[in-house]
Amino acid sequence: MELRQLTSFEAVARLGGFTRAAEQLHVAQSAVSAQIRALEAELGVALFTRTTRRVALTQAGELLLARTHRVLGELVGARADLAELAAVLHGRVTLGAMAVLGGYDLPAALAGFHARFPGVSLALRTGLISQLLALLDAGEVDLVLGPVHDDLPPRFAARELVDEQVVLILPPGRAVVRELAEVRDEPFVCLPANSGLRTILDRAAATAGFVPRVQFETHSAASIRELVAAGLAVALLARSAAVAEGPAVTVVRLEPAPPHPAIGLIHHRDRPLSAAARACRQELIRRA
């Protein structure tokens, strides 16, 4: 049984005649008739009843047609899958990622994706979440990995991956506190005013009844920790950054703890992902 025989059989059954089937398949009517005769000879049954006016399926033909639809459907699906794979294998993905990603191991995730799809060109951009979302808006990155804030604009879709916590960090040797209000008179170091961390600090301080005095402003969690370790300020920081390798600081879990958005994967709703970007997104989610 050959695929072209099944294709001819399905066309005759669907269109109700050999002439119309031949026209759609762009072959001679005699070729279609020959395919059907060969198929009937191989199966040992008649598939059509033929009159001068019409062609109709026999009971055997109806049984075979149901199977043929499944076979041809699988073939269409296989072709689509292979086309998708070909697009992935030769694609390019640009990922925007925050430097602090909680418990998410981005290097391991990217290594896993590269092992599966070594032909895909991978590029990584880092920055604050506001900067990365601007790049996503401009089409300069395909995906963004970072905190999913409550005010994420509706044009973005997000999939949460891992949780994160906010802690207070103090210079080493400082007495431990339990409430943010206890350091209200201390200078703070934080990310810039348009950052998610600055919003978290402002909200937490407002809840505690004061306005934080941000004396130092920096663009990285590592710099925040260095300034606190040097005794120049205190800070709120993601726990993953506070306990990572680096200069010693005192880490305090506040009560109540300021909320931190989950780390998630963000893409633009109005810009379809390429095949390579879809494969990368699936791998990053799988690795969570």
The predicted structure's pLDDT at residue 252: 94
User: Domain check: are 200 and 215 in the same one?
Assistant: yes
Q: Which of 88, 111, 145 delimits the end of a domain?
A: 88
User: Domain check: are 12 and 26 in the same one?
Assistant: yes
The predicted structure's pLDDT at residue 80: 74
- What is the secondary structure of 12-43 as a DSSP string? HHHHTSHHHHHHHHTS-HHHHHHHHHHHHHHH
User: Can you give the CATH number for the domain in which 170 is found?
Assistant: 3.40.190.10
Q: Is the pLDDT of residue 85 over 80?
A: no
The secondary structure of residue 234, as a DSSP letter, is B
Within a domain: residue 30?
yes
152 three-state secondary structure: coil
User: Domain check: are 214 and 226 in the same one?
Assistant: yes
User: Domain check: are 20 and 81 in the same one?
Assistant: yes
Cα gap 59→234, rounded to integer Å: 82
User: Domain check: are 138 and 127 in the same one?
Assistant: yes
pLDDT band at 189 (very low <50, low <70, confident <90, very high): very high
Give the predicted TM-score (pTM) of the model.
0.64
Q: Which of 88, 108, 140 delimits the end of a domain?
A: 88
169 torsion bin: left (phi>0), alpha (psi -120 to 50), beta (else): beta
User: Please, which residues bridge with residue 236 across strands?
Assistant: 168
Q: Are 92 and 121 in contact (CB under 8 A)?
A: yes
What's the structural domain count of the chain? 3
Q: What is the mean pLDDT of residues 73-95?
A: 76
Within a domain: residue 122?
yes
Q: Which of 88, 104, 120 delimits the end of a domain?
A: 88
User: Domain check: are 11 and 68 in the same one?
Assistant: yes
Q: Are 267 and 96 in contact (CB under 8 A)?
A: no
User: Domain check: are 152 and 273 in the same one?
Assistant: yes
User: Can you give the CATH number for the domain in which 28 is found?
Assistant: 1.10.10.10
User: Domain check: are 110 and 125 in the same one?
Assistant: yes
The predicted structure's pLDDT at residue 150: 86
Can the peptide bond before residue 256 be classed as cis, meaning omega within 30 degrees of 0? Answer: yes
Within a domain: residue 257?
no
Task: Give the burial string for 150-166 (b: 16+ CB within 10 Å, else e).
Answer: eebeeebebeebeebbb
Q: What is the mean pLDDT of residues 27-37?
A: 89
Cα gap 36→7, rounded to integer Å: 10
DSSP strands (E only) in the chain: 48-50, 55-57, 92-97, 121-126, 143-147, 156-162, 166-170, 187-190, 213-217, 235-238, 250-252, 263-268
Apex 159 CA angle, 202 and 272, nearest 5 = 115
User: Domain check: are 228 and 282 in the same one?
Assistant: no
User: Domain check: are 198 and 155 in the same one?
Assistant: no
Domain carrying residue 173: 166-252
List pLDDT tens digits, range 152-186: 999 999 999 999 999 999 999 888 898 999 999 99
Within a domain: residue 77?
yes
